Amino acid sequence: MRIAYLDCFSGISGDMFLGALVDAGVPFELLERTVADLNIDATVELSRVDRAGISASKVDVIVRGEKDMPRDEFWTAHHDAHKNEPGHEQHTGEAKSSQQRQHGRHLKEILSIISSAAISANAKRTASGIFRALGEAEAKVHNVDVERIHFHEVGAEDAIVDVVCAAVGAEALNVERFIASPLNVGGGTVKCSHGAMPIPTPATLELLKGAPIYSGDIQKELVTPTGAAIVKVLVSSFQARPRMTTEKIGYGAGSRNFEGQANVLRLSVGETLEAAVALGDASCAAAHEEIAILEANLDDLNPQLIGYIAEVAFSLGALDVFTVPVQMKKNRPGTLLTVLAKPQDEAKLRDMIFRESSTLGIRVRHEQRYALPRRHEAVDTRWGAVRMKIAGNGKALQYAPEYEDCRRIASEHSVPLKAVMQEAIRRYLDQKNG
């Protein structure tokens, strides 16, 4: 299984995650194109910096000529200008300029921007999930409905760039799973729109429920709400470094340079066969895992809402969502909704189904699943590169071109989708047998 491991010994923030992705091989040009296509008057800047002797990539978001800064530094410099500012505290830890703060947004507007972005459907689900996680955490802290939350710091342009680029970059890394170490959240207090708050701040702590966290020697905010939301949506488990081969290593720098500690996020990419079992042939090893299956019968719900429920489920980490037409009591046609999920995601998916659907009951069971390890290999077609998804270990048992890559190429070059898929398969076989 191809995984990415995050060493969070100095926490995690949006800019640290982007820097680690670029340092591990995600093209910076991909992030530049993504930001340009968002059309929100923002750019990204890449530099090489030193953090306590470690060379790392630093990605900064530039909005209307201004670069973000750590939250406490911002509030020290701008406290007087914003001490009477109305609205809720919506913070990512990467502070915004006074001009940017005037452009707060509601969650619906942010999700609309993501929905219109020129990125894959999977990246849209991830980015939307990160922002929903941020909004739900803030809504719970302030005891208001998430749709009433008026995003200021989170809704500012550089936070949108951080989140969307994180989703696009994570997808480009071509890993099946993100795993993280326990998170060093820092300590002390941080200044924000509500005054001094203990670290981790309420929204960050809400986002990190269930994750192992600790406070080290550095008395600064090391895990920002944006970083915590990225972890909540992308990371499937927290543990010490698993047995893995390391192919790529990336270091993403934070804004500060601490004495005696490298303020970086380390990202390692490689293959692991942890928890694999042999099914007759060692080259066909399949990972054995437990999954939760949630089912609900729906017979009085607008079908349009079912599609929306599936989208939200994916954004919350569902492994798969599918529906089957069923005949219910009194001969009413209905729909059986089935959601497959990791056990740790069961509760939030169950709550979402109750909230978004009309069902009065959800059946849940846990079953064992064997999944072939998967990886991606790129092949060049006459229209551009296409990723091939390959299942199996040692030899390819199954292979197929990534639909989103082929769909994008077919749309950009006005060629039949089936022609793109057929050529990708042919090129892969030529490459494999050549």
3-state secondary structure the chain: CEEEEEECECEECHHHHHHHHHHCCCCHHHHHHHHHHHCCCEEEEEEEEEECCEEEEEEEEEECCEECEEHHHHHHHHHHHHCCCCCCCCCCCEECCHHHHCCCEEHHHHHHHHHHCCCCHHHHHHHHHHHHHHHHHHHHHHCCCHHHCEECCCCCHHHHHHHHHHHHHHHHCCCCEEEECCEECECCEEEECCEEEECCCHHHHHHCCCCCEECCCCCCECECHHHHHHHHHHEEEECCCCCCEEEEEEEEECCCCCCCCCCEEEEEEEECCCCEEEECEEEEEEEEEEEEEEEEEECCCCHHHHHHHHHHHHHCCCCEEEEEEEECHHHCEEEEEEEEECHHHHHHHHHHHHHHCCCCCCEEEEEEEEECCEEEEEEEECCEEEEEEEECCCCCCEEEECHHHHHHHHHHHCCCHHHHHHHHHHHHHHHHHC
Residue 72's pLDDT is what? 53
pLDDT for res 152: 52
pTM of the complete model beyond 0.75: no
Of the candidates 297, 299, 302, the one whose C-alpha atom is nearest the C-alpha of residue 361 is 297
The span from the CA of 355 to the CA of 119, in Å, is: 28
**CA 88, CA 420: separation in Å to the nearest integer?**
49
All domains of the chain, ordered by start, with CATH?
Answer: 2-271 (no CATH), 285-371 (3.30.70.1380), 376-433 (no CATH)
Q: What percent of the chain has pLDDT over 90?
A: 54
Q: Give the model's pLDDT for residue 396.
A: 55
Residue 71: the pLDDT is 57
Q: How does pLDDT run across 366-401, given as a tens digit for each residue?
A: 998 887 777 778 888 999 889 888 887 655 578 999
pLDDT tens digit at each of 434 positions of the chain: 789 999 999 999 999 999 999 999 999 999 999 999 998 888 999 999 999 999 999 999 998 777 766 655 554 444 444 444 433 333 333 444 444 444 567 788 888 999 999 999 889 999 999 998 988 888 888 777 776 666 554 447 888 999 999 999 999 998 988 999 999 999 998 876 667 889 999 999 999 998 999 998 899 999 999 999 999 999 988 988 988 889 999 999 999 999 889 999 999 999 876 444 333 444 445 667 789 999 999 998 988 899 999 999 988 889 999 999 999 888 889 999 999 999 988 999 999 999 999 999 999 999 988 877 777 788 889 998 898 888 876 555 789 999 988 999 999 999 999 999 999 999 999 888 86
Q: What's residue 327's pLDDT?
A: 92
Examine residue 200 and say whether the peptide bond preceding it is cis (omega within 30 degrees of 0).
yes
Q: Which pLDDT does position 150 carry in this prediction?
A: 61
> By the 8 A CB rule, do 183 and 223 touch?
yes
Instruction: State the residue for tokens 């942010």.
Output: 110
Burial 16-45 (b: 16+ CB within 10 A, else e): bbbbbbbbbebebebbeebbeebebebebe
Question: Tell me, what amino acid is at 134?
Answer: L
Phi-psi domain of 271 (left: phi exceeds 0; alpha: psi -120 through 50; beta: other): beta
The amino acid sitting at 185 is: V
Sort residue 168 into left (φ over 0), alpha (ψ -120 to 50) or beta.
alpha
Q: What is the DSSP letter of 296?
A: E
Q: What is the CA radius of gyration of the chain?
A: 22
* Residue-level pLDDT at 337: 96
Q: What are the tens digits of pLDDT across the range 143-159?
A: 777 766 665 544 478 88
d(CA 1, CA 22): 22
Q: What is the pLDDT of residue 154?
A: 46
